[in-house]
Each structure stands twice: as C-alpha cells, then as structure tokens.
Structure 1
Amino acid sequence: MELEFIKEMPKPATKLKLDIASLLGTLFFAWVVIQLFPVVLTALVYEKQQKLRIMMKMHGLGDGPYWMISYMYFLAICALYMVVFVAFGSLVGLKFFTLNDYSIQFVFYFLYINLQISLAFLVSAFFSNVKTATVVGYICVFATGLLGAFLFQAFIEDASFPKGWIIFMELYPGFALYRGLYEFAEYSLSGNSLGTHGMKWGNLSASENGMSDVMIIMLLEWIALLFIAYYVDQVFSSGSGKNPKYLLQKFRKKRPSSFRRPSLGRQGSKVFVDMDKPDVVQEREKVEQLLLEPTTSHSIVCDNLRKVYPGRDGNPEKMAVRGLSLALPRGECFGMLGPNGAGKTSFISMMIGLTTPTTGTAYVEGLDIRTQMDWVYTSMGVCPQHDLLWETLTGREHLLFYGRLKNLKGASLKRAVEESLRSVNLFNGGVADKQAGKYSGGMKRRLSVAISLIGDPKVVYMDEPSTGLDPASRSNLWNVVKRAKQGRAIILTTHSMEEAEYLCDRLGIFVDGSLQCVGNPKELRGRYGGSYVFTMTTSVNDEQEVEQMVRRLSPGAEKTYEMAGTQKFEMPKQEVSIADVFEAVEVAKSKFPVYAWGLSDTTLEDVFIKVANSAQQFHKLT
C-alpha cells in the first residue's frame, strides 16, 4: 500500500530501429534476383527448340555476332531489372539499400548478372525443350534460396566452420549471391541500430567480411563460364557441331579463294552406281570433270556424298545417302522426287549444315561444306519443310531482319522487303504488319519462301515449298520461284508432280539413298514411260471388238481398266505408232458406235511409281 501511488520517472520516447528488410530480406532478395536465371535460360532454349537460331545461322548470322547480340540484350534487360530493384528499395526507404555504398552494390550486382547470364548460356546447351528448362530453372531458384537460408547461412555464422569450405561453396553462383546479400544485410542492420553507415569500401578488408572473396570468385567464374559455354555451344549445339580441337584451327583459318579439289578415295565411288543407269553415270562423270577445272559456272557440285547413321539398340546402321554425285549450274531449278524415307531430307540436311557427310563432300560456290560452312551460309537461302518463325514478329519484321543479315541497308532493304511481300501476296490488307503467330498455315508458308529469296542468295534450298497452299496461292508461288531461278541454283523437294514439271529444269528420282535417274521431265517420260494409255468407250456388246483392235495394234498391250463399256489399255511405245492408232479408230467408227476415245502419254507420276518400285525391289534383292 505504501508504494501504490509511486510511478516510474517519465523519459523521452525512443524510435524503433529494427530494420525488417535487413533482418529477413536476404532470402527474399535472393529469390528476386535469381528470378532472372530461368528467364534468360528459357529464352535461349526457345530459340533452340524452334530452330530459330539455326535458321538465322543458315541466312548468314555467325556464332560470334549471335553471342554478342544475345549477351548484350540479356545484359541490358538484367541491368535495367537491377536498377529498378535498387531504386525501388531506396525510394521506400529500406536501410538495406540506403545505408550500403551504392558503388559496392553496383559492382556486386553487375558481376552477378554477368555470371548468371554466362551460366544460362552454358546450361541452355543441355536442354532442347522449353518446358523442361523452365521447370529446372525455377527449381534452382527456390532450392538455392532455401538452402542458402537454412544451410549455407548457418555455416557462415559458425565461427568454427573452415573458411576454405565456405569459399568452395561460394563457387556455386547462387551461394555467392546469397553471401553478398547476407553481408549487405548485416552491415545495414548494425548501421541502423548504431546510427552509423553500412558497408563502405574500407570494410571489405575486414577479416569477417566475405564480400571481397565473393566479388573475386564471381569475376573469375564469369570469365571461365563464358569461355566454357561458348566452347560447349560450338562443339555440341551449333548445327552439326565441330571438332573439339576447332579452336586451335580457328586461329589459322583465313577466308579462302577456292576450295574445290577432287576428293580422296574416288576409286570406290562407283560401287553405288547401277551401270544400267547411263544418266546417273553421265552425271558422275560430269562432276569428276568439273572438279578438275579451276573455275566453273556450277553453283553446286556434290562429289560422292554419303551419309550413314550408326546402328542403335541392336538395329543395323542406316545408309541414308549412297554416294551421290550431282552438278547444278546457275539458273537451274533441280527437283528431287522420292518416296518418304528415301534420303531427300538427309541430303538437304548435309547441304545446309545440319549434319556432316560420312564421306565425300559438296562444293557450294566453290566452298567445301565440310570445312567452310560459315562462308557458305552467307550466300545461301533456305525454305525449310516446317515454318521456322518468331510468333511475336510481323511478316515485315521477319524480312527486315533476314534482309539485314544479307547486308541490305536503307532504301534497298525497304524496297526488297516490299517487293518480297508483294510477290507472295502478303502486302495488302495489313497482313504484312500482323504477327506471324496469327498467320494461317498458307501465309506462313509464303513468308518462309519470301525469307529464303530475300537478299539475292546464290543457292536456295526449298523443302516442299507449296505444302498447304490453295490452288491460287500455289500458282502465284510457282511464278515467284520461276522468276527467282535467274542467276541462282535452286534445289527443290516436292511430292507434287505438277509442281515438279512446272518449276524444275531437271529432275532426279531418289530411292533408298541413291539417285535412280536424272533428266528433264520430257526425257524421263520418254526414257522410263515406255507405253501409251489408250481409252475407248463403246457399248458393252462391242467390248470384244475393241480389245481385238488393240491386240492387232499392239500384241503386248495390257488391259488396266474395264467398266460399263469403257476400257483402258497400256500399249508399249515400241509396238505402236500414233498414226496407226488414229487410223484404227477411224475404221472402228465405221463398224460400231464409238462414244469417246483417247490416247495419252505416260505421266510423270507413272514414271515416278515405276522407277521407285523397280529400285526398291532391286535393293531388297541386294
């Protein structure tokens, strides 16, 4: 009771100096910064998955410029992200940012984002699917933060834990980031509670401060990872890949004037040629002669090109291309016909640098595809079988980009883009400025053809260019390709006999990895057609008379169709003349009523079926 009215002496109020951001923000800020890693990783893997990078490379973009442009783009994005991160934290008054020296923060974040980008380039070489890369990237984000907060931080705060092991753990970029953020948090927390400044440059020399070790580790690791990532990319991810010793060769490589030379081991090249095919033998002899000449007007010379895929899982090796020799002069469109699995795609893949030949080689504008593919790309255009486009870029932007890769600039670039858009009917109606992801299948196909022809490439490869087009668009596209033949060589694969006959100066039928015949459509029909197709429609009672008439004209004739008075016969050309057929029909008209009749030559489709079937039977027997 005596102390009931005794009160504590009043004193001035004190400010609460607890900085929650410094106390609990290390984990949160680590997550915020590492979020950049999966963003960069998925962007790189997306270009790889959609084959956009190899498409750019095939149109002349070298690996060096690609790396430099991509790296600077990601660096700019990450730097802007970190500036906003620090600026926002400072504006809301977080001591984590305001007390620590901004120059130290700049150096630390700059080193880390460069290290993170280099790591993303390295890791992207081992992924081919965006979804997988995204999942792995975000697992790394959250796992790094949690391990840093509940494991790594405990080691840092344990004075008995060896410092060497901490430095070893900081070799992992995520732990290096966490250690730096931890040091910022500790200095801002102590500075706030004592009313002093946070981390300054002078504090980096303190024994308990790990920031200097972290910065040195990140700098050295950034340089090492960037070099390793570029090397891994060149060996494993750039199209066909390169020899692991290529860096030693790169310093000795100069731009060559001519690379054409006869290939070694030509004595055994005729193993793959059936001597019953004089046109194929003649083409091989032509190639041998061209290889001995110092200069040539031929854009493409394939010299005994062969591709064998090794056997896997107990299956035998697959010979996709069997000693192909072919020569294409400028101004010629060569059509490759063949059933599915014949080896056409394997041949195109070797010519555009996606795979390397097992033996033999090819020369494009005098450059060897085995060793000088980077120079070949500068004079090459490609329309792949599947449209390789950025969904967020417009048709005009695609052509502007690929036009710049072909050294078009200023007014000439704009003029070339407009002409390309008009030629493939993508100019009117605002279609040119619509995103490619909103194009129909036919519009994408037309854009792919326009991309392959922009910049006046000397050699163009078109893999089924008119697939999915309506008849009007197909006809217009054929006119574009026909005009584009002037001054350049075009190799075109197709399953449309009409397209092949309209566009191609010469055709080659490709079956089971080997060229079965070469020639223009008229020559092939004359050489392999071998028969006329005679059709006559009469009454059912006169069918026997018609058959007897055909047998008199051609004893070797074969009936192929009969229904309701209509009959079809195949008559060997060597047994019958067209004049005799007309005369026999006039005689028949005087004997019985003839409702309709016709005589047609063998079509290109008939030739294709006959050659393909005979070649497949031959390879089965051998």
Structure 2
Amino acid sequence: MGKASYWVQSNALLRKNLTYQRRNKCQNCCLFVSPVVILFLLTVVEFYVKQSQNQQSEQSNPDFKPLNPVPNPPEWPPLIQVPSFPAVRSKALPFSDLPDASCLKNKSCPATFLITASNQSFGLGMASDMFPTLTSVNSSDIAELILGTKASLQDNYLSDPAFTEEIDLYYLQPKCKEGSFLSVPMKTKTFESICMQSLTLWRNSSSEVNDAIFEGNARVNTEKKPFDFAGAYDFLNSNSNIFNVTVWYQTNALPSTRGTSLTRVEQLVNLVSNAYLRFLNGAGTKILLEFIKDMPTHGYMNQPNFVAMMSTLLFIWIVVWLFPVILQALVYEKQHKLRMMMKMHGLGDQAYWTISYGYFAIVSAIYMLCFVAFGSILRLAFYTMNAYSIQFVFYFVYVNLQVSMAFLASTLFSNVKTAAVVGYLLVFVTGLLGNFLFVRVLQEPSFPRKWVIVLELFPGFSLFRGLYELQQYAFEGSVVGNGGMQWQDLNDPENGMKEVIIIMFVEWLVTLFLAYYADRALFSGSCMRKPSTSARKPSAQRNGTQVPSRRENPDVAEEMIGLTQPTSGTVFVNGLDLRTSMDEIYSMMGVCPQYDLLWETLTGREHLLFYGRLKNLGGAALKEAVEASLKNVNLFHGGVADKPAGKYSGGMKRRLSVAISLIGDPKVVYMDEPSTGLDPASRNNLWNVVRLAKRDRAIILTTHSMEEAEALCDRLGIFVDGSLQCIADARELKAQYGGSLVLTITTTPEHDAEVEDMVRYLSPTAHKTYHLAGTQKFELPKHDLRIADVFEAVEIAKTRLPIHAWGLADTSLEDIFIKVAMATASSSV
C-alpha cells in the first residue's frame, strides 16, 4: 500500500477521536451538563432568594408589590399624615389647651400642630394663615385643598393607599361642622373627604415642642397608646427678610422601617411657604402644589439580581473548566506515548494538528453554545440583554486561545495527574484572583489604564474582563433598559471588550505558533529531541588515564539503528533515505513496542481499524485485514475483539500490539519483546504468526529470550552496554563463539577439586565458567576430545565420586551471549 494522504490520515484520526469520545460518553455528558446544572441551580436559588425577600417585605409592609414597568406614573394630590390617635389632654400630655379626650369617642379630635418662634407674634400670625377655609371644591381647586390621611406612605407614590384602598380621606380647616364633607374629583373617580379641624397651639421653645411630641408618642403611659401631633413648626429667627423654619412631621411607619420609609412632608412645607408669601405680598400670593408623582420606572425587582452579581465568578470557572480537560487529554497521549505510536505508524504532523486542534476547538465551541443557549432559555439577562454576535466573537476567540494554551502547556507535563492538579488549581485561582483582585482594579478610576492592559495579557484576566463587561451591561440593561452591550458600545473608552478581544486574538496566534514550534522543534511525541552527539567517542578517561575506545567489529560497523537522528551515515528502507524521507518510511513500517501503547477505552477492533486506515487501507480491504489480524492473534472469537483494551489481560494486549504492527502490510516491522507475558501455547502461536509475516518483510526483533531469538531470527545481534558486539546467523555465531562442549557436573562440595582434575585430564585447555555449591560448568574445546571419552571418564568417576547429576551439551545462544558479555566486560576493565 502507498503512503496515506493527508485526507486519509485526517479521516483516520477523526474517526478514532469520535469513537474514543463515544466510549467516554458518561464523562462527556457530565462535562456538557455541568454548566447547565449550575445555571439551573442559580436560577432556582435566585427565585427562592427573591421569594424570601418578597415575604420579608410583605411582612413589614402588607402593601408591598414588586415593581412593574411604569412609564407614566399616576398623579396624586399631596397629603398630610394625620395621626391615627390624635393628641388629647392626658396624663402624658397634661396641657389645658389640648382637646378633651372625649373627642376620641366620636372621632372629632382635631389634627394638632405645635408652633414656636423667636418672635411670638410672627409665629402666631403665620399659624393663623396656614389653613384657609373652603366650603366647596372643583377639579381646579384641588391644589388649594389641604388633604390628609391616616394611611402611611412607605414605598412609593405609584399606589397611594388613600386613593387606591378606600381609606378615610380628610380635608383640614380651622373649624368643622358636624358631619361636613367635600367631594374631591379625580381623573378616574371622585372621593369623599371628611372635615378634620386643624388646631395650632403655641409653645414657648423648640425644646417644649420636642418634649411634647416625645411624651405624646411614648407607649409607657397608662392609656398604652400614642397621642400624636400632626406636625410642628419652629420659625426660629424668621422675619420679613429671613425665612428660617424647622418642620416636624408625622409618620405611622414601624420603628424598624421608619428610617427608610417615604413620608408625606411636601404639603407641610407648602403650607408654611404659602403662609410666608401671603405675609410678604398679601392674600393673592400662593404656591400651588398640584400633585405628587413617582419617577418613571422599569420592570425590575427592588432586590439585587443574584445571577448577575455572581455571574462573573461562576461563569469564568465554567468557561476555564475546559482547559484542564483538554490538557489532560493531550498529556495522556504524551504520557502513554500514543502520539509517538501514531507517528511511527504514519500519522503526519499536519494531520495530527489539524484534527486534534480542530476537534478540541469544535468541542469547546459546542460547550459554549450549550452554555449560552441554556442561559438564554432561562432568560438570564447576562445572555439575553447583550448582542449575541458580540458574545459569539468573544467566546470564539477565547476558546481558540484556550485550546492553543492547552497545547503549549502540554509540552511542560509528562504526567496526567500532575497536569490535572495544576490545571484545576489554575481554574480555581483564576476565578478568585479575578473576582477579588482584578475587579477592584477595574473599579478603581485612579488605577493606570496601561497597567490594566498589562494585567489583561494574562488570559484569565482578559476572560474575566470580558465577562465583567457583559455582566455590567446586562445588569444595567435590566435596570435602566438600554438593551445591554451593542457593537457601538465597544467604542466607549470605558468599555474594555474591544481591547480584550484584540489581546486574546493576538495571543491566540502567538500561542498557536509557539505550541506548534515546541511540538516540531523540541518534541517528537513524548520524547524530547536531544542534540546530535557522536555515537562513539574516540577515547574516554578511566581512572585518570586515557583509554582508547573499543574497535567495532566489521559486521557491527555495517548496521545503523534506532529512531534518533543519525550522527553519521544513513539507512535506506525500501530505497528511501531516513535522513530525507522519514515520513514515507513511517508509512511503510510497523512497531510493536515493549510496553503496550493502547487506548484503554477503545476495543481491539477499533485499534486495528484506526492503524489500518493510517496504512491507507479502506473499505472491504480494511475490514478483511482487521478480521485476519484478529484471527491470527486469537482475538477474534468470543467477543474479545469488541471488548475495551483496558479489560484485556497482559497477554491479550501483547497479541493486539503485534497485530497492530503487522496491519497494512508494512515493509519493515520493529518488535520489542513481542512474546513477553504470554503462556507457552500463545507464545508458540505468536511465533508462527511472526514466521509467516517475515516471508515478505523485514522484521527487527529485540528480546532477552535466546529461545525466541533462535526460533524467529535469521540474523542475530548481541548488544552489551548499548553497543552491538556481533551480528550473524545462529550457526555462524555458534561456530565463531562456540566451538566447544559444555560439561555440567554436580557433586558434593568436598569433591569439587577431584571433578576439576578429571576435566583437566580430559582437556587441559578446559575453561570453568560456573561454580556454585558443588555444581561446576566447563567449556571443552571440541577439537581436543571425543564425546565418547567424556562418557567413559564420567562413568569411571562415578565409582569413586558421589556424582548426583551431569550433562553434556553443545553451546547454546544463551552461552554465547554470556560469553560475549563477559568478554566485553573483561576488555573494558
């Protein structure tokens, strides 16, 4: 098969990624559902917070209602707050000028106002002119009618209880006839008002006024109810040139809410103002207080928006949550050397980057779309008030920056757990620093703008700034009704959205370039590319003396090996030079590494499908190759092929690794201890697969098992201390390094010397290679003796020595390996 094209490689990797994510659907569901759950919980919490606040407000004020949009508030005549229990003569107020308490029974008690001034005649004159007498009234005279009510106004002027809840309405005059009333015409209805006498009483000083008000309101008197005054005035030093007055006013609000309740003081001030104007300019002068109305208001609750207040902190955690997820996925492939495995099977860097980056970017985009969509469904102002196009651009730029940052950060980690801890810690710290540090910087006008921009170079702060701006515009829009953030708002110098989008866009491009460069120039999969060094130094120092390097054998000098860049020379694979055509060589080679490099959640079949596609297989040919590979390594039957590789035994994983190395008809296959961990039957079956495979391809196999090497290899090389010492077929190695028989004799330790004498008699040049607890092993040159002589000598020795066991064998590959290793070690001393 030829080299797979870029599109074929991309297709293979994309299919693998989608399959991998399908296998991890539970984790993915949790990832995508988490922001939805958080938003839903926030909405529920906000609902119950508002309900609780409404209940508290209703308990303190039964007339409380959440504010609805009121573009044109109603107009209400100004009212005086008359006391529910007017001041009368009592033990608490033993003043003779106060009315008798009997007026309480027939509800004829006057509304009493106390007067004092530095100039008594001026004060009494003002008091006598404050309450004019009217016998009839029409709509044009309402402003001259002094109206009062016992219903207190605590929240606003949108719904005055005196006109909306049919509470008694009064008009105040110096004298009232019994049962007299006046009709007050309004735009929608005419109200009947009862006459209430206005009584003004002189007091000698401001302190007397204050004490009277205090004593009358005290609830410690025997009547156990307050006797309140309707109001009081201290004209101080007022005269024809100076108007200086202090006003006491009446409120029926509870003591706990009195400080925040609105009161009816407008008419009290207007009364005294008109009296002073008439004093100066005559009876025809007056200021008409026609109506009182609240300001236009929008539809919002008077409680703070809980989601809006918490959105910046919580949303930054939700958005940045993707960073450690992507980082873990990248480091996982690095830690388990899966990236290198894919590269050695032909996956090019361009296809890897296109699919991996694009895949994580699309996943991030879908994540953010779900985030925004569900927030919009819940009608959260953070989403609905701001232009969706601005949100799209902002999130698009940031998720790309976040993905590129994850790729760059993955080059710093080699362990998934470490990457996860650092990633999630970064998420947590970024939110806290933004919410409790950076937000104060933004809200401090004196903080230099250039330093704000410097802080925004940290991606977490730039994200926070953007979310902060969206939150501020959403909150303002929900209160003021300006529609949230629109594109024209980005030109506002106080709006930081434009600058953070520019900063993040530039950082995205820079980070993406650095991440790609780090991957290409510094790393290859999980192994750092080290600077090229000489394969063998010309000499070395040992014990302070210069020692010449060992001379390589001619057969060793003819080989080049490994995956690192060559220091000199080259290697040709199927006519391709590895120095210039390594990507093409990768496409025609297979690798079975020492450790099984597999995705735990992918099945054996899915592994072979992926690597088969990388080898340019497709359609029916791919399916046939996969099934044949599974059958060859005994992974086809019993549903084993469709089980996740993480549930395979060690032997099954080794067989799958061998099948992966052979899929796609590679020209060169590298196997590192392929039969490790296999039982004898599986090992023999695997050897048969390798024997069949080596007929039309080169297989380079490393192993510690000389039995495996002799069974599978046509040529064998022996490495000692990382250096190739010899290479030839098994017969040539035995001829070159063997040429002897191995005699093993076991007797009691006290007869070791006699056994050695016997062997020396057989062959004076015999060499003892092993001696332990009565067991000795000797090498006997074949040209020095006959095998029959050895049998005869041992039989004779049995008559006088306790020989427990003995054996004679030809030199094995294991003996040759030990001999070469020992010879190498002795020559290096």
Is the pair's TM-score, using the shorter chain for normalization, greater than 0.5?
yes
Cα distance 1:553–1:103, how it changes in 2: closer, same or farther (>3 A)?
Answer: same
Aligned partners of 1:241, 1:586: CA distance in 2, in Å?
63
**Matches of residues 511-530 of structure 1 in structure 2 within 5 Å?**
511-530=720-739
Partner of 1:6: 150
Q: Residue in 2 aligned with 1:326? A: 559
Q: 2:467 maps to which residue?
A: 181
CA contact (8 A) 2:671 2:699 kept: yes
> How far is the alpha carbon of 1:191 from its aligned partner?
1.2
- Distance (whole Å) between structure 1 residues aligned to residue 679 and residue 770 of structure 2: 32
- What's the counterpart of residue 411 of structure 1? 620
Instruction: Using the TM superposition, give the Cα deviation of residue 551 of structure 1 relative to its aligned residue in structure 2, in angstroms.
Output: 6.8
The correspondence for 1:507, drawn from 716, 731, 736, is 716
Quote the offset at 1:163 in angstroms: 2.2
The structure whose Rg is larger is: 2
Change in 2 beyond 3 A, CA 1:551/1:204: closer
Match of 1:466 in 2: 675
Helix, strand or coil for the counterpart of 2:558? Answer: strand
Q: Which residue of 2 is the match for residue 477 of structure 1?
A: 686
Alignment partner, residue 602 of structure 1: 811
Cα distance in 2, alignment partners of residues 24 and 183 from structure 1: 13
Counterpart selection for 1:432 from 624, 632, 641: 641
**Contact 1:395 / 1:433 at 8 angstroms: preserved in 2?**
yes
Aligned to 1:230: 516
1:95 deviation in Å?
0.8
**SS of aligned partner of 1:517:** strand
Aligned match of 1:134 in 417, 420, 423? Answer: 420
Aligned equivalents of 2:316, 2:807: Cα separation in 1 = 82
Change (3 A) 1:559 1:218: closer
In structure 1, the partner of 2:377 is 91
Q: C-alpha deviations, 1:474-499, integer Å up to 9, x for none?
A: 10111111111122211111111111
Q: Please list, as runs of the form range in 1=range in 2, the aligned pairs for 1:238-277 lying within 5 A after superposition.
A: 238-239=524-525, 274=551
**Post-superposition offset of 1:470:** 0.5
Residues 34-113 of structure 1: pairs in structure 2 closer than 5 A? 34-113=320-399
Q: Match for 1:88: what amino acid?
A: F
2:476 pairs, out of 190, 193, 197, with 190
* Cα-to-partner distance string for 1:110-140 (whole Å, 9 max, x where unaligned): 1110111011111111111112211211222
Q: Secondary structure at the match of 2:669?
A: strand
Residues 136-156 of structure 1, C-alpha deviation per residue, up to 9 Å, x if partnerless? 112221221112112222222
* Alpha-carbon distance in structure 2 between the residues aligned to 1:23 and 1:527: 85
C-alpha change, 1:131 and 1:184, in structure 2 (3 Å) is same
Task: For 2:797 and 2:508, locate their aligned partners in 1 and report how far apart those are by CA, in whole Å.
Answer: 91
Q: What is the one-letter code of the residue matched to 2:638?
A: G
Quote how far apart the aligned CAs of 1:362 are. Answer: 3.3
2:707 aligns with one of 467, 473, 498: 498
Deviation at 1:608, TM superposition (A): 1.3
Change (3 A) 1:31 1:579: same
For residues 547 and 184 of structure 1, the distance between their equivalents in structure 2, rounded to whole angstroms, comes to 94
Contact 1:235 1:243 in 2 (8 A): no
Partner of residue 364, structure 1: 573
Q: Larger helix proportion, structure 1 or 2?
A: 1
* Matched-pair contact (CA < 8 Å) for 2:593–2:672: yes
More displaced, 218-227 or 511-520? 511-520
2:301 aligned to which of 16, 29, 32 = 16
Provide the C-alpha distance between the structure 2 equivalents of 1:567 and 1:377, rounded to a whole number of angstroms. 50
TM-score normalised by L of structure 1: 0.76
Q: Which amino acid in 1 is paired with 2:605?
A: R
Give the deviation of 1:557 after TM superposition.
4.8
CA distance, structure 1, for counterparts of residue 804 and residue 503 of structure 2:
93
Structure 1 residues 562 and 110: alpha-carbon distance in aligned structure 2, compared to 1, 3 A threshold: closer
Would you say the 8 A contact 1:19–1:95 is kept in 2? no
Structure 1 residues 6-49: Cα deviation after superposition (integer angstroms, max 9, x where no partner) = 11368449751643222331111111111111111111111111
Q: Tell me which residue corresponds to 2:500.
A: 214
Q: Which residue of 583, 592, 616 maps to 1:383?
A: 592
Amino acid at match of 1:615: T
- Distance in 2 (alpha carbons) for counterparts of 1:195 and 1:438: 59
Q: Is the 8 A contact 1:420 1:454 kept in 2?
A: yes
For 1:551 and 1:169, how far apart are their aligned partners in 2? 86
Unaligned 5+ segments in structure 2 are 1-80, 85-148, 161-298, 540-547
Give the drift of 1:382.
1.1
- 8 Å contact 1:272–1:514 — kept in the other structure? no
**Stretch moving more, 163-172 or 455-464:** 163-172
The percent identity for this pair of structures is 62
Instruction: Tell me the residue number matched to 1:251.
Output: none
| Paired residue secondary structure (1:505) | coil
Q: 1:230 to 1:559 in 2, by over 3 A?
A: closer
Contact 2:398 2:463 (8 Å CA) reproduced: yes
Give the Cα–Cα distance (whole angstroms) in 1 for the partners of residues 496 and 779 of structure 2. 91
In 1, the alpha carbon distance for the partners of 2:388 and 2:464 equals 18
Question: Which amino acid in the other structure matches residue 6 of structure 1?
Answer: K
CA distance in 2, matches of 1:228, 1:461: 33
CA–CA separation in structure 1 for the residues paired with 2:373 and 2:756: 95
Q: Please tell me whether residue 453 in structure 1 is matched to residue 662 in structure 2.
A: yes
Distance 1:274 1:115, change over 3 A: closer
Residue by residue over 1:557-576, the C-alpha shift from the partner in whole angstroms, topping out at 9 and shown as x without a partner, is 5688999x999764320112
User: Any conservation in 1 of the 2:706–2:813 contact (CA below 8 Å)?
Assistant: yes
> Does 2:458 correspond to 1:172?
yes
Structure 1 segments unaligned to the other structure (5+ residues) = 245-263, 285-323, 328-346
Change (3 A) 1:445 1:242: closer
The letter of the residue matching 1:603 is S
Q: Which amino acid aligns with 2:613?
A: R
* Structure 1 CA distance for aligned equivalents of residues 757 and 151 of structure 2: 136
Structure 1 position 243, deviation (Å): 9.5
Is the 1:557–1:572 Cα contact (8 Å) retained in structure 2? yes
The number of residue pairs the alignment matches comes to 531
Paired AA for residue 301 in structure 2: L
Q: Show the counterpart of 2:405.
A: 119
Give, in whole Å, the separation in 1 of the partners of 2:768 and 2:370. Answer: 82
Quote how far apart the aligned CAs of 1:556 are. 4.1
Paired residues of 2:769 and 2:778 also in contact (CA < 8 A)? yes
Determine if contact 2:523/2:529 at 8 Å carries over to the other structure: no
Supply the distance in 1 between the matched residues of 2:683 and 2:518 (Cα, whole angstroms). 43
Q: Measure how far apart 1:57 and its partner are.
A: 0.7
Structure 2 CA distance for partners of 1:558 and 1:111, relative to 1, 3 Å:
closer
Give the 3 Å change call, closer, same or farther, for CA 272–243 of structure 1 in structure 2: closer
Counterparts in 2 of 1:537 and 1:143: CA distance versus 1, 3 Å: closer
Quote the offset at 1:193 in angstroms.
Answer: 0.8
8 Å CA contact retained: 1:59, 1:402: yes
Structure 2 CA distance, aligned partners of 1:243 and 1:499? 33
Please tell me the residue identity of whatever aligns with 2:813: L
Match of 2:632 among 420, 423, 428: 423
Shift in Å at residue 588 of structure 1? 11
RMSD over equivalenced CA pairs, Å: 3.8
Deviation string, structure 1 residues 55-95 (Cα, Å, up to 9, x no partner): 11111111111111111111121111111111111111211
Shift in Å, 1:613:
0.6
Instruction: Say whether 1:200 aligns with 2:486.
Output: yes
Paired position in structure 1 for 2:653: 444
Worse overlay, 55-64 or 371-380: 371-380
Cα deviations by residue, 1:176-203 (Å, 9 ceiling, x for unpaired) = 1111111111111111112341112222
**What's the offset of the Cα at 1:530?**
2.6
Q: What is the TM-score when the length of structure 2 is the normalising length?
A: 0.58
Change beyond 3 A, Cα 1:31–1:577: same
